[in-house]
Chains A and B, each alone.
Chain A
Amino acid sequence: MSAPAPPSDGVPPAEPGRTGWRRFAVVLLAALAAAAAMAFWTARGGVAASLAVSGHVFKVRADRLEGTGFAQYPDTAVTADGEAHPVALTVIDSAELDDLCQSALIDTPVGQATFLVRAGGDGRPVRAEHMVVDMRQLTGDAEFGDIEIGRDASTLANDSGRTGEPGGFALQGRTVEITGLRQRAYSVNAGTFTLTGLELEVKRGDHECF
């Protein structure tokens, strides 16, 4: 009765493959342990994470931003829906941020959710290298060192190699310090983002940083 069906018409016996659950558990537990270690070291500042989020306007708040190699010029950002938006393209070669909060409202099949990242508390700032921001709005108290306002946008010099159109308006500073930073942006890209004390949360509803 239970004998396997003999192969016929060139079809191999349909004996199903199966999963060795013990091996599955071993591999998965090892992998999860490695993932937990990575998340832990990212939070400790040992692993730099790369962040590239966009498509919607999202909010960034930080108590203090201190950076070198600052440049800014008007540009357009094309969002996922194909629409072009005017932005202040902002480049900071190297930045440190205290008490960073970054939030984005996402539409999910179960309603609105907030994607929330917090890091850089307890006097251990977040470090970002080669940061490029498509900025829509920025508020805060800013102090620039060696600022050149009205520099031609095509002559900007920064590590990310971002320049604008010849004849375009731009400003460039050697250093920048912004306290009480609040920013709305279409995208933030950083070559490396070292997130100390990382807390990553996806919450239902609107829990934006400001």
Chain B
Amino acid sequence: MFLIPASAASAAPGRVRRGRLTRRGRFRHWRRSRPFWGGLLVTAGGAAVALAPLAPLPLIFQQGVAGVSGYAVGLLMVAVGVLSWAQPAQRVFFGLTAVLLSLFSFPASNFGGFGVGMLLGLTGGALLTAWIPGGSADRAE
């Protein structure tokens, strides 16, 4: 997007005549109108946390809360990442929730998916919190 001069933006690939958008243009519009990368990183981090404990499920359920919480934290992170796309307006809440869940994943599940899931979640959560929608009053910040 940095390669295209601002004056050429309306003629950028993806836009066709009569204001309709191609498939790629629609995806780009969708991507730009919500905190896409933040949500993606949080979702990936949640997947890493949930997939790290490969122990058989019955054994994990046997552990009770401690065993299940690893999966719960990971799946909640995935849910927060996906919901941040569906409801960009709640980005600060989702972002801070993602940060707290990522921190909690460290003691709850294999050091937060061997650290990878926690770091993805923290970065994604910070991105969610810091996202500013296009055309909003915050733009002048």
Contact = CB atoms under 8 A, between A and B. Distances in A.
Interface of A: 1-2, 5, 8-9, 11-25, 27-28, 31-32, 34-35, 38-39, 42, 47-55, 77-78, 80, 115, 130, 132, 134, 160-162, 187, 189-192, 200, 202
B127 interface: yes
Taking chain A's interface residues, is the majority helix, strand, or loop, or is none over half, making it mixed?
mixed
Interface string B64-97: 1011011000000000000000001000000110
B131 A12 contact: no
Nearest to A22: B130
Contacts of A192: 66
Interface residues of B, number: 60
A51 B10 CA distance: 53
Interface string B111-122: 100110010001
A17 B35 contact: yes
A55 B134 CA distance: 46
A35 B103 contact: yes
Nearest to B33: A17
A27 B95 contact: yes
8 contacts: A13-B135, A16-B33, A19-B130, A20-B132, A27-B130, A50-B107, A52-B109, A187-B56
B103 A34 contact: yes
Given A11-B19, A161-B62, A189 B130 contact: no
Contacts of B103: 31, 34-35, 38
A1 B62 contact: no
B134 A16 contact: yes
Interface in B43-77: 52-56, 59-60, 62-64, 66-67, 69-70
Nearest to A8: B19
B62 A5 contact: no
Interface of B: 1, 6-7, 9-10, 18-21, 25, 28-29, 32-35, 52-56, 59-60, 62-64, 66-67, 69-70, 88, 95-96, 99, 102-103, 106-111, 114-115, 118, 122-123, 125-127, 129-135, 138-139, 141
A50 B108 contact: yes
B50 to A, nearest CB: 11
Contacts of A55: 54-55
Contacts, number: 163
Of A5, A11, A27, the most chain B CB neighbours within 10 A belong to A27
B107 A18 contact: no
A181 B66 CA distance: 26
Given A17-B33, A54-B55, 7 more contacts: A5-B10, A11-B21, A20-B131, A38-B106, A54-B54, A160-B62, A200-B114
A22 B56 CA distance: 43
Contact of B141 (A11, A16, A20): A20
